Structures are given as C-alpha cells and as structure tokens.
Amino acid sequence: MGKELHRSVPADISRAASLYRSVCADLMRARARFGPDVVRYLDGLAARAHNTLYGTRAYRLAALWELVARDFPRTLRRRWRFFALASALFYLPLFFGLLGTLASADFASTILPPAQLGMMEEMYQQGFDAGRDVGEDSAMAGFYVLNNVGIAFRCFATGILFGIGSLFFSIYNGVVIGVTLGWVIRVGYGGNILTFICGHGPFELTAIVISAGAGLQMGWALVKTEGKTRLGSLRAQAHELGHLIMGAASMLLIAAGLEGYWSPSSLPPQVKWAASAVFSTLVILWLSLGGRGRKREAAK
C-alpha cells in the first residue's frame, strides 16, 4: 500500500497516519523500557512509515500526473450532474447575451458600461497580424493566470453560500462574455476576437464551468447532509472537490499560457483554428476517457 498511498481513499490515509503516530509512541516507550533489538525494529518501522506518508513520492510529477490525468476526469464523470448544471448556467446566459447584443446595441449598454465596450472594441480593432513582443507576451500570460484563477475561484469558493454564489457567478460570467463577444462582432471585428479566443477557449471556459460545478457540489453538500453535520458533509466531499479544483487549475494554467503566447501570435487564422480543433478534441478525450480501465482497489 505504501507506494500507492497517494491514490488511496481518505479513510485509508487517515488510518495510515494514525498507525504511524502509534508506532512513534511505541518507539518512545520502547527506548525507555526495552532493549536495542526492539528499538531498532520500531525505529525502522517508523522510518518506513514516515517515508510513505511524507516522502517525495506524493509530490513528484508522477503523482501529480495521476491526479490530473486520471483522478480528475474520473471524479468529473462521477459528478457529471453538477458539471451539466454549471454548463447550462454558463452557456445559456452566454448565448442570451450574445444574441441580445447582436439584436440591439442598447441591450449591451444596459449590461456593460459604454467605456468597457469601447475598450473591447479598441482591443480587437487591429487584430494580431503583427503579433506582440516576448516581454509583453510574458506579462500578459502572468496577468491571465491571475485573472482566470480569480474568476474560477469566485465560481468555486462562493459555493459555500449553499451554492448560490456559484449559481450567480456562472450566470454573470456567461452574460458578460456573451455581451462582449456580441459587441465586438457587431462592430465588425468578430473574426479577430473569435480567432483570438479559439485556442485557449476550450481549456479556459471548460475550467470555469468545472469550478462552478465544484462550487455547486459543495453547496449541495451543505443542503443535503444525509444525517451528518454540515461540516461533516463538507469534509466527505473534500477529496472529490480537491480533484476537481486541481484539474481545473491545470486547465487554467494551460489556457493562460496559450492566451499569453499562442492566441496573440501572428500565425495565420487557419493555423489557429486547426489548433483549436485539436485542443477541443484533447479536452473531450481527457475528460471522457481519462482514468478509464484502471479501477482503484480500495481494499489494498
């Protein structure tokens, strides 16, 4: 079990930690009461237990890969209802904002300030044929990490308000993105903005929805406690929520890198759209097939 502890269920990890503490206590007593053979045996046992619990294995790339590539998509599929609900709460308002703005300019100004709409128009007016210098790309990549993580964090963390916060921010983000997209298309720069977002969008938007779904799951755990205290119900969901947030965070990091370097590059639109198709396919395969074929054996 030692080599696979990072993949164990929470109960097994807690039991292993409890046994380790017991061994340490026995070792202290043995040093005062027993001979060197007993002390040597318990010392070796404690050392092996310590390495299993606190060694570098759980922090190595292999363990992180296991979590992101297998545990994360498995958990997402197991909790697909929250993901589906979050998708509806995000994408339906997005299309509402998009179509409303395309139908009426006044609609957009009731959602976003004219100054912000003007800034979006100016941002995409020139396109990205000339690209950007490396320094600006690096600065923007850092900004996108903070911005994307902030959006996803709000979608998730506000789920502690019995899911209401996650519901609100899903709808709000969908409307704002839809209005922004609709406005830039309306003023004639739709090709520029669509080509810009097509690369990082599959990762970024999916991660935001996953974060919101995790927030809804957290909120539901506080509503439907199944006989536990609210804190106990929340703790029971912590393992799965950790998988979802780590997976979403990895997608946001990928999105930020693409948004900082790939999306504003001077590559032809055809190349960016072809890459978008590849990225979208990878996301679908990752979430739908990741972790299949390897059943976790909880008894081990």
Any residues with CB less than 8 A from the CB of 276 and at least 6 apart, and which? 198, 199, 201, 202
167 close to 93: Cβ distance less than 8 angstroms = no
Name every residue whose Cβ is closer than 8 Å to that of residue 279 and which is 6 or more positions away in sequence: 199, 202, 203, 258
What is the reported pLDDT for 298?
A: 37
Beta-carbon-side half-sphere exposure of residue 74 (alpha carbons within 13 Å): 17
Q: Which of 281, 167, 269 is nearest to 220 (CA)?
A: 167
Instruction: Give the Cα-Cα-Cα angle 78, 83, 84 (nearest 5 degrees).
Output: 110
* Model pLDDT, residue 111: 94
Residue 144 neighbours by CB distance under 10 Å? 21
Comparing CA positions, the residue from 96, 93, 109, 76 lying closest to residue 214 is 76
Dmax over CA atoms of the chain, in Å, equals 87
What span, in angstroms and rounded, lies between the C-alpha atoms of 36 and 174? 67
Q: Which residue is listed with tokens 């045996």? A: 41
Cα dihedral sign, 203-206-208-213: negative
Coil, helix or strand for 127?
Answer: coil
Structure tokens, 146: 């903070």
Read off the DSSP letter of residue 56. G
The amino acid that residue 96 corresponds to is F
pLDDT at 130: 61
Contacts 24+ apart (CB under 8 A), 59-65: 63/6
Instruction: pLDDT tens for the chain, 300 residues: list them.
Output: 444 555 554 555 556 666 767 777 777 777 777 778 877 887 788 777 767 666 545 445 677 888 899 999 999 999 999 999 999 999 999 999 999 999 999 999 999 999 999 999 988 888 776 655 545 555 666 666 778 889 999 999 999 999 999 999 999 999 999 999 999 999 999 999 999 999 999 999 999 999 999 999 999 999 999 889 999 999 999 999 999 999 999 999 999 999 888 988 889 999 999 999 999 999 999 999 998 875 543 333
Closest CA to 249 of 112, 153, 173, 170: 153
As a whole number of angstroms, the distance between CA 287 and CA 203 comes to 11
Q: Domain locations in the chain?
A: 2-59, 66-289
DSSP state of 130: T
- The label of the residue with tokens 């709808």 reads 171
Cβ neighbours of 51 (radius 10 Å): 12
Backbone Cα Rg of the chain: 24
* DSSP 8-state symbol, 184: H
pTM of the shown model: 0.78
